[in-house]
Amino acid sequence: MVIETWKKSGIATKFPTYRNSSLVTVHTWQQGKRQDDEAEGLWRIHDGIYDFTEFIDKHPGGPFWIRETKGTDITEAFEAHHLTKAPQSMIAKYKVRDAAKPRIYTLTLEEDGFYKTLKERVRQKLKTIDNSPKRTSDLIHLSIFLSIYIFAIASVKLNSLVALVLAGVAICWTVIISHNYFHRKDNWRMYTFNMGMMNFCAWRISHAMSHHIYPNSYFDLELSMFEPLLCWIPNPHLKSKMLRYVSWVTEPIAYFIAFFLQIGTRIFYSLRHTNIMYWHDLLSLSIPLAMYLVAGRSAGLLLCVRYWLSMTSIASFAFCLIGLNAAHHDPEIYHEGDANREDRDWGLFQVDTIIDRGDLKWSQFLVLTHFGDHILHHLFPTLDHGILPQLYPILYETLDEFKAQMRECNHIEHIIGQHKQLLRTEPNTRAPGSGK
């Protein structure tokens, strides 16, 4: 089949099927990937086909990761989520056959390539690392999480706008910090991601499996989900003139409604197609409930719900302001259609799709609440953000060896860059690392 030129991906031999569907959801992304990935209905790692059915409930990281990836190519996800050698030595017994067709993804994970070299160094470093910052992360998470209820209740009890805004900020920060936890084995903190009406299971697909593995490409669901309103891919087929300029106006609206759009789409899809809702989708309701039970009986349930919806839209706005301007969108950053680095290493691809927030690095609190240390987080998503700073010397050394660079800028520069990227339709012809 001939692919139209504009649909040619820089990281795969196919244009992803899910992008042809009218409603883009986590579920349609998974369905499309099962069609595209040449995994023969099972699990694919490199050029082998594996049957992990028996292993789903035994997986130390929790059953979700394996159950939800059945029928897909998990090569990069498998590499990025394990730092010990155990998983690699375990897979042989589940191998069924060699894959009939080549992999569709063209990124590489060579033993002597950037990512595997860095990973081996990180593996060694982890043996001697100071783990105490993990406790600080846990404490920060718990304090911010509890402060949601304190500020929410205060907003009703004192009829205070300040408390309402603070509750919104606390919801936003709780959601961002709990992202530090949902990338790992199942744990109670991952559930607190749902305080903003979104769901960590949906995000384990759209964020961990899609965005983290294939950032800024056609396979990145976090780009395509925004495309009716905001489009970062520099391609006039996706980004009409109208969308380019109108997006600057619709952007603040999109920020305010993003959380509601996520749950709305999931409810709509569940009613029309297959249920993709979980019991823990109800967790965010604990906020208005606490407000009503502790402080709102005289004010009434309706007022509590109104205040809760207001703080959630503040949280949504703050989340988008932080998240969409944190790392990935700037004309200097690789987006689908731009010239590729010659070295197709998966880790270098991650480096090319990110500019870190340099202004946060001095504070663990700011890193946790603002998607800081983003490059290291993309490369090693299961590691606590608290210990990432200790890995910088190894990262710098390995980047130097592979003639790559880590880029940094502050939040204002990111906001300016993100808006320029919304306007950009011309692909970059200079490949990252070309040095010209």
In angstroms, what is the minimal distance from the CB of 80 to ligand HEM?
Answer: 8
Q: Which is nearer to ligand HEM, 60 or 393 (CB)?
A: 60
3-state secondary structure of 84: coil
Q: Which is nearer to ligand HEM, 74 or 326 (CB)?
A: 74
Q: Which is nearer to ligand HEM, 60 or 102 (CB)?
A: 60
Distance CA(112)–CA(30), nearest Å, equals 31
Distance CA(195)–CA(178), nearest Å, equals 10
Residues in region 370-399 near ligand HEM by CB under 6 A: 382
| DSSP per position, 42-64 | SEEETTEEE--GGGGGG-TT-HH
Q: 410: how many CB neighbours lie within 10 A of its CB? A: 11
Q: Which is nearer to ligand HEM, 69 or 174 (CB)?
A: 69
Q: 190: how many CB neighbours lie within 10 A of its CB? A: 23
Residues in region 178-207 near ligand HEM by CB under 6 A: 184-185
Residues in region 53-112 near ligand HEM by CB under 6 A: 55, 59-61, 65-66, 69, 74, 77-78, 81-84, 86-87, 90-91
Distance CA(80)–CA(93), nearest Å, equals 21
In angstroms, what is the minimal distance from the CB of 35 to ligand HEM?
Answer: 18
Q: Which is nearer to ligand HEM, 52 or 151 (CB)?
A: 52
Buried b or exposed e, range 333-371, using 16+ CB within 10 angstroms: bbbbbbebbebbbbbbbbbbbbbbbebbbeebbebbbbb
154: its two tokens: 């205060």
In angstroms, what is the minimal distance from the CB of 277 to ligand HEM?
Answer: 22
Tell me the Cα Rg of the chain.
22
What residues contact 285, with CB distance under 8 A and at least 6 apart?
none
In angstroms, what is the minimal distance from the CB of 91 to ligand HEM?
Answer: 5
In angstroms, what is the minimal distance from the CB of 6 to ligand HEM?
Answer: 30
H/E stretch holding 274: none
In angstroms, what is the minimal distance from the CB of 141 to ligand HEM?
Answer: 15
Q: Which is nearer to ligand HEM, 187 or 434 (CB)?
A: 187
Q: Which is nearer to ligand HEM, 184 or 361 (CB)?
A: 184
Q: Which is nearer to ligand HEM, 74 or 233 (CB)?
A: 74
- Closest CB to ligand HEM belongs to which residue? 61
- Strands 95-98, 356-357: pairing is unpaired
Q: Tell me the residue length of the chain.
A: 436
197: alpha, beta or left? (left if phi > 0; alpha if psi -120 to 50): left
| Nearest-10 crossing angle of helices 161-182, 132-157 | 150
Q: Which is nearer to ligand HEM, 91 or 415 (CB)?
A: 91
Per-residue binder mask for ligand HEM (CB under 6 A), 34-53, x = binder: ------------------x-
Q: Which is nearer to ligand HEM, 55 or 365 (CB)?
A: 55
- Strands 408-409, 356-357: pairing is parallel
In angstroms, what is the minimal distance from the CB of 209 to ligand HEM?
Answer: 7
Distance CA(182)–CA(215), nearest Å, equals 18
Q: Euclidean distance between the first and final Cα of the chain, in Å?
A: 35
Q: How many residues bind ligand HEM (CB under 6 A)?
A: 22
96: its two tokens: 């069924």
What residue ranges bind ligand HEM (CB under 6 A)? 52, 55, 59-61, 65-66, 69, 74, 77-78, 81-84, 86-87, 90-91, 184-185, 382
